Each structure stands twice: as structure tokens, then as C-alpha cells.
Structure 1
């Protein structure tokens, strides 16, 4: 018998399939989630930014309904859940968290665990730029948020290599049609729409270009260069470069990023010695 979870307004959800999606903010999460939902068959529900260990319907920030890949525009959570029909695909997302090594299924339905991730240098640049736009955060607050995020990112570097998750690399998804087709097949999606879709408005869109920019004009591969002269960004890279455990994990997933951080550390040490 299928497990039925209920939210506080008694809207029931009995999915036919569950995609549990994890990712750090500014990793292209919502672009890839939109792509996944556009490629679902039958009904689909996207439960955004839920809290681990609790009923997704009680903690989700928003519920979006789909039918054969098309987003359904209607008011009210109960109406959206009903519109998705029987046994929909439920995509439950978690931000700034990684899946635990042992986790209980959310529902009595087949479940796939996905991690969306992005190269360290571009991710750190994008997250910092986003935080810098918050007038309530001073330099100390920004460094606290960034260092906590870097720590979680280090955990992510380990989990994307585990066999119980499907890793989705935003950098390749954004540039390679063949990668989108390959990952659609791996996720058992029909692959009817392999386009990148429109820029998502969650979180204000791109940290650098907003939410009105067209997908083909996004310069996501230039974020590190665009922040290269920012002193706070340099401090974050310097701190990460001085952590040998982090660099070792980074080298396993993003060897070019690890090499650049190692070069940064050697150059900085040389400059300190000369002075």
C-alpha cells in the first residue's frame, strides 16, 4: 500500500516516482530542475526547497504542477496537486544540503537521488556576487556564509562520486547537447525537450545578469574571471587553497580548479616571501 503524506491543509500526494534533488545555491539548480520537469511524462510536481526529515508538502517553499512537461498555471496548492493527476513524478528539492549516506524513502515509490553541482571557481564567484547584493550583509557576514557553503561543497565533492546518486554537472549541461541527452536517458526521461529552456526567476535569476537574459547569452563560464579582482573572492580562494583535504577532494572532481588554487597558493607565498 502506497504511503500518503499530508500537509497541514490535508492535500494528499501519492507519487508514482520520486526524484530527490540536492544542490548548492548558484549551481544552476532551477535550470536543471526545469529541464527535468519539462521532460517528465504524465503528471509532475516540483516541491521547491524542502526541509530534510520532514513532510515535503509541509515545508516546501512552492508547489509547481506539470502535465507532460508543460507547466500548469493555476492558483492554490491543492489545485496544483490535483491537476498533476494520479501517481505523478514528484521532484523534491533541497538547497545547500547533501544527501545523507543512509536515508529513508519519502514515499512508497521508486526513488532517484540527484546532486546538481558546478565547478568550484564559478560557483564560489556566483554565490559571493549574489550575497554581496544583500544590503543586510557586511564583509564578516558574507565570509561566514561563504565558509559554511564551502564546507558543504566539500561534502558534495565526495557524494557526487558515490554510486547511489546521479550527478548532474551544470557546466556540461549548459554547453553540451549530447550531455543533456545522456543524462535524460540515465534519469529515464523521454528527452522530448533537450533545450536549456528559459532563465529561471528563482532567487532573482543569474547573480550577474538577472532573470530577463536569454539562456544563449548567459556567460556562466566567465564568472571566475569576472570576480578575479574582487578581494573577498580572492580571500575565499586563498582560504580554500590552504586546506589540503579540500584540495585533494577538489582534485578528484575538478582537477583544473584544484591546480589553479594550488598555483594561487604558491604565487601568494612567493609574494609574501619577497616582501
Structure 2
């Protein structure tokens, strides 16, 4: 009975949202000439790829009114979704299109297929949901599969949100977009190699230049609390993230049969080699 009532409530709620969107569109509630976001950054990554570390770092290179909408579901109004879970007045106003002017709006997706994130119908409603932006960026983050899989293995995050794809298939699709073999991300695309971001200050400076911000490297040593912090270290290295051994996590599970089976994929290994180069010791899996 409770499940039936919940389904009916969701149907009623979604119908209400559809009517609200239609009325806003017809009444031109969103002024197409008015800039709401000076910069809009859509961040896309797989869990345990350093997403929160990099998003925090991006936030701290910016000044002024900077918002981050975290782990948004696909094909949904981000503000509306957040208001359902955190019923705050400012989120309610944003959901209704009464936008606050922002210097930078960041919103992020985790573990979703790129085809879902870039759904054409959602893209058409982007300004209705988020307001008009002066410039848009797509930031896609990729971590080498050996260490990403190890971190997920440690936390038990072994399923992708898309039931039609395995985690390995999803990583490969991100690698293809990273290399430009697919072109699903249509905004100003910036690809972030997490391994290189972690070890190379010059690489981070180059990324800041691509994002058109002054480089401070603020936030690099933060360890964010989302998801309990590091899969292996938790929050122990807060304020000294550079000391974490994030590039050798795979060694913990090197002889674990389930882990070996997970990464025993020639295509996965090929894309890893092309993007991250040879990772010493992983040749045992080739």
C-alpha cells in the first residue's frame, strides 16, 4: 500500500513539474538575454576518480558567488532535485527560476552514461533549469582503471548506475570521449587526467588556464568528506592530500582473483596505456 501511495505521489509531482516547466516556458520566465551564470562548469566522472578533490580545487581557483550542485541525477532539474532532499528556501527559488546571479556554477554527475548526461531533451531545457550562462565548460575526469577499480573494490562500489553497461564498459566509454574518439560533450571540453593532476603542479596550472582563472592551487591538499574521504585513508590526510599513495592502490588487490578478473580486459588495458602510459607492475595483467 505504501509503495502504491509513493508511486502515485511521484506521478502527481512529476505532472506538476511538467505543467510548471510548460508555464514558465510559455510565459518566458527565463529572460534569454539575461546572464545568470558568468561561467557554467559541468563535471563528469566515475566514482573514486578524484572527482570531489578536483571539483573542490576548481571551486577554490574561483572567487565571488560559486555554487556546486553535487551528484545530480540525469534528465532532472538539478535545483528541483536538491530541493526535494534539502528543502531550503534558496533552492526552492532556484528551482522556480528565480535565479541568484553567480560567478561560477558547477554541477556534477557520477557514474552515468555520457549519452544520458547529454540527453537532447534535457539540453533543450538547460537554460530553463539553470539560467543562461556566458560560457559553458564540460570537464571530464579520468583516473587509471587499475587504481580506480581498486578504490571501488575497497568500498564495494562495483556496479554502474546504468544497468545496460558494466563498470568496465563505462570506463572505456569515458576513455573514448577523453581521447576524442566520441564527441558527446559539446561545450568547451576539458579532459582531466587525475593521475597527472595529482603529481604535476604545471599540469594543474595548465588546467587553470583552460578554465580561464588565475592559478592559486588552493584546495589541492584538501581531503573532502564526501563518501567518507579516501577509500583507503578516510580523512586521515586532511590538509596533506599530496602525501596519499593514490597511484599505488592497485597493489593492495594485485593477487585478489575477483580484482584480477575485473581488469582482465584487453580493451581496458589498451586505453589505459594510451592515456596514462605504462604503470610499472601492471604488466602482470597483460
- Give the TM-score normalised by structure 2: 0.69
The answer to whether the aligner puts 1:97 opposite 2:123 as a matched pair is no
How many residues are paired up? 232
Higher helix share: 2
The answer to whether the aligner puts 1:206 opposite 2:230 as a matched pair is yes
How big is each residue's C-alpha offset from its partner over 1:5-60, in whole Å with a ceiling of 9 and x where there is no partner?
A: xxxxxxxx932221000000000000000000011122110000001222111224
The answer to whether the aligner puts 1:48 opposite 2:60 as a matched pair is no
Pick the aligned partner of 1:227 from 246, 253, 267: 253
Q: Is the 8 A contact 1:20 1:92 kept in 2?
A: yes
Root-mean-square deviation (CA, aligned residues, Å) is 3.5
3-state DSSP of counterpart to 1:42: coil
Following TM superposition, by how much is the alpha carbon of 1:229 offset from its aligned partner in structure 2, in angstroms?
Answer: 2.2
Q: Is the 8 A contact 2:83 2:92 kept in 1?
A: no
Following TM superposition, by how much is the alpha carbon of 1:230 offset from its aligned partner in structure 2, in angstroms?
Answer: 2.0
Q: Matched residues in 2 for 1:61 and 1:177: separation?
A: 37
Q: Matched residues in 2 for 1:216 and 1:246: separation?
A: 27
Following TM superposition, by how much is the alpha carbon of 1:177 offset from its aligned partner in structure 2, in angstroms?
Answer: 1.0
Stretches (4+) displaced over 6 A: 79-82, 143-147
What is the aligned partner in structure 1 of residue 201 from structure 2? 177
Q: Matched residues in 2 for 1:218 and 1:61: separation?
A: 35
- Give the TM-score normalised by structure 1: 0.72
Q: Is the 8 A contact 1:50 1:92 kept in 2?
A: yes
Stretches of structure 1 that go unaligned for 5 or more consecutive residues are: 5-12, 64-74, 133-141, 266-275
What is the aligned partner in structure 1 of residue 170 from structure 2? 152
